[in-house]
Structure 1
Amino acid sequence: MNPNPFTQFETWFAEAKASEPTLAEAVALATATKDGLPSVRMVLLKQVAETGFVFFTNLESRKADELAENPNAALLFHWKSLG
């Protein structure tokens, strides 16, 4: 396992893209309001960099509002082919 989490992710992501029957880029994005009320929705990963994960969104969306209020978020990838 690579000690750099983004480098390790790139390895797993390449494996997923080669073996997943559907979009390996699909990811569940969990956010929460400033009061801690959670929301989860699917987004498409656009890029991975040393600074983090990139996805696109409408800046007037609920997720943009929640991230502006509370920048803590989580991503969950479901790659069944990788176990």
Structure 2
Amino acid sequence: MQLRTAVVEKKLQTVFYAFGLLIGRRPWSVIASVIVLVALSSIGLLNFEQTNNAKTEFTPISAPSRDELAAVEKFLQQNGTLFLVNMMI
């Protein structure tokens, strides 16, 4: 009786052997198709924006710290950053 893993291994061996033959027979076609695939996949990075603000992104909406921050901003009336120490425990 053959193990299930042996059956899967045989199928994978067949698939990778065929893939290796394809690459060996048409290397430039494979290289060109990989470059096109990467270029198409990278188009989405043009609109990517990263937001990393601990005060707004990582605290719950109902957290008391949001109310405290609003009170501090109202009291200090600064346009720029408050230079508060962010400590994550």
Q: TM-score range by the shorter chain?
A: under 0.3
TM-score by length of 2: 0.23
Greater RCO, 1 or 2 (C-alpha within 8 Å, sep 6+): 1
Structure with higher Rg: it is 2
TM-score by length of 1: 0.24
Query: Larger strand proportion, structure 1 or 2?
Result: 1
